[in-house]
Amino acid sequence: MNPQPMIVTPEDHSSPLKVVGEEITVLASGAETGSYEIFLQAGPESVGPPPHSHPWDEAFYVLEGTVEFGVAESVGTVGPGSLVQLPAGTVHWFRLGAGGARMLSITSREAAAAMFADIDRTVAPGDPDIGELVAVITSHGVSLLPPPD
């Protein structure tokens, strides 16, 4: 594959994927860039994944609202303009704060876009079958851990 330059305007955005309470818009997939992926993530208060890790680096840039992040044993809340960078294999989770939040996320390689599309296609967004969700994400190399206390 030979990646081409691209400009993505709001009119070019694909429909958001429904991922267990979040809406995730793929702005640039690994198939398009030849490597990294970029997403716009938005959702209501308290939405977010359980503790997990995966074999790709990931960074989050908070655009609106606040987000509580758990990284390894640390927990902190960040607001607009904050960047959270996570090397591959780092155990992490997040919860969108009061009123919800929006953030930009970037991965270091092609992987998450396909996983999010599979979740959107096979897991009900409002009342997810947890077994089905776990099967989808683990098939994409994500490891789950017990939720925080």
pLDDT at 1 exceeding the cut of 70? no
pLDDT tens-digit map of 13-31 = 999 999 999 999 999 999 9
- Domain ranges within the chain, ordered by starting residue: 10-143
pLDDT at 135 exceeding the cut of 60? yes
DSSP E strands, the chain: 17-19, 22-28, 37-43, 52-53, 58-64, 67-71, 74-78, 83-86, 92-96, 101-107, 143-144
**Is the pTM for the entire model greater than 0.85?**
yes
Q: Which CATH architecture has domain 10-143?
A: Sandwich (2.60)
